[in-house]
Amino acid sequence: MSQTDLSLSSAPTDRSTPTTTSATTPNERLPKFLQNDPSRTGYDPSIKWWMTYFKILTGQVTREGVEHYREARYKANEERDCKRCEEYRDWLFAHSPTVRFLRDKVAALNGTLDETNVVCRRCPGRITEDGEVVRQSGGFSPDHGILLCANEVRNKGHLEDTLAHEMVHAWDHLRFKVDWAGTKTNDLRHAACTEIRASMLSGECRWTRESFTRGNWTLTQQFQNCVRMRAVQSVMARPTCKDDVHAVKVVNEVWDSCFNDKRPFEEVYR
């Protein structure tokens, strides 16, 4: 791969619409998203939120209805969530060793990451016909920058992991000619490699995060399994990915070289 000095452009400022990222756009094979039907879900948006909460506690709302209710609360609290996200983001740029290191490495490649193109937005979640809930905590776009999903931020540590993940993507984009969707090179190895590296270097797969946040208490190969699983899931979201078998095959093809590539770090520190 050859080096590039392409800079990141500023992200749009309209807070009501989340940025679309090339790395997370769902492909056409996903089933359609369900719209709320109170007669089916038990969730009626016209009644008070506390009444809905009582109905959820008493089992009168389906799982689908709970997700629709969650989205309604996210929309109502959008301004508060975005403000908190921006405060966390600014603190991390000032004090996080990982974030500051990656920002400097991006700058060394003639790129810029700051409040103009690292933006907090509400990211709508969706529930599909087969019951899968589709959510994201962030995304990277070569044309816009980094998206942080304010409504999905659990705490400052979670945002640090998310931001570091997307900053690794930004570094890869500037350092290499990454074919994000696999349309130029007709394969998904670029996408698989950057996803492996981002999950490995961001800290989102460290033992404490997997154990205490996700309840995965496996003691052997936990880190590797987490990185592999996240890479496969991300590759599956690419439009040129055929299915999960295809995604696993591509990740396996690049695993050894990409899992051992710690750049721009010397080791995995998080």
Catalytic residue numbers read 166
Q: CA nearest 73: which of 40, 41, 50?
A: 50
Three-state SS for 139? Answer: strand
Pull the structure tokens for residue 30: 């996903």
Q: What are the b/e assignments for 208-232, b being 16+ CB within 10 Å?
A: ebbeeeeeeeeeeebbeebbbebbb
Phi and psi angles of residue 52, each rounded to the nearest 5 degrees, phi first: -65, -40
Burial class (CB in 10 A: 0-12, 13-18, 19+), 76: exposed
